[in-house]
Amino acid sequence: MIDNGYLFAKDNKRLFVNANIGCLGNCSYCYLPIMGYSNNKIIKSTKTCEEIINMINNSNIQINKDTLITFGCFCECFDEFNKEETIKLINYFLDKGNQVQVSTKKC
C-alpha cells in the first residue's frame, strides 16, 4: 500500500496519481474538504513527472500494464501549476501500456 497524497494504491490494480494536493476551484459541490483536502488552495507543492515516477519506483507497489492509472482525485490535474507535469505523466503511463483515467474538477 502507498498513501502519501501524491500517490494512493492498496494494490497494483489501481494507482491514483496527483501532481499536487488541493485545488483552487472552490466549487460548492467538491468532495475534497470532506476528505481533508482544500478546494480553495494548493496545500502541497507540485511534483515533477520524474519525482512522481521515483516515488512509484521506490514504493512497494509493483504496477504493470494492467494497473489503471487515475489522475486528479486529490487535486485539479489540469490547473496552471501542474498541467504540464500531468500531461507528461499521462504520456508516460500510456507509453507503458496502462489505461489512464482523468478526473477534472474545473468549474
Per-residue cell: 30? 467538491
Residue 24: which residues within 8 A CB-CB, separation 6 or more? 40, 41, 42, 76, 79
pLDDT tens figures, 84-96? 999 999 999 999 9
Sorted by where each begins, the domain ranges of the chain are 2-102
Strands 7-9 and 21-23, by their bridges, are: unpaired
pLDDT tens figures, 16-42? 999 999 988 898 888 899 988 899 999
The answer to whether the predicted template modeling score (pTM) of the entire model surpasses 0.85 is yes
Q: Which CATH fold topology does 2-102 show? A: Transcription Regulator spoIIAA (3.30.750)
Average pLDDT of the segment spanning 52-70: 95
- 55: pLDDT confidence band, cut at 50, 70 and 90? very high
